[in-house]
Amino acid sequence: MSDHPRNTGPMLASARCGARTRCGGSCRSPAVRGKRRCRMHGGARKSGAPKGNRNARKHGLFTGAVIAERKRIQDLLAEARKLLQELK
């Protein structure tokens, strides 16, 4: 029996969070019951990305239409440079 006034045995025996810290060590918080992460690393209810994952929206710089437009502009500039070289 420890000399600690509170009964900390169950908490010390509980599973630990599997997340990694910035220093490379593991998180020492107890995992949420039935999960592998603590409440701060995704074990809490309603945690994580929302449905449809609006966090992963793209800014549009690499969509198919924008890439095709940049290609057309590059081709047009190449033709203009070629024409200028022919005129010299």
Q: How far apart are CA 49 and CA 34, in angstroms?
A: 20
- Return the structure tokens found at 31: 């995992």
- Indicate the pLDDT class of residue 37, thresholds 50, 70 and 90: confident
Q: What are phi and psi of 30, to 5 degrees?
A: -70, 140
Asked if 48 and 42 count as a contact pair (C-beta separation under 8 A), the reply is yes
The pTM for the full model equals 0.42
Dump pLDDT digits (tens) for 38-86. 888 877 777 666 676 666 666 778 888 999 999 999 999 999 999 999 9
Instruction: State the pLDDT at residue 8.
Output: 78
Kindly state the tokens that stand for 51. Answer: 């449905």
Q: What is the pLDDT of residue 72?
A: 98
Q: What is the pLDDT of residues 3-36, one digit of tens each?
A: 768 887 777 788 888 888 888 888 988 888 888 8
d(CA 17, CA 41): 8
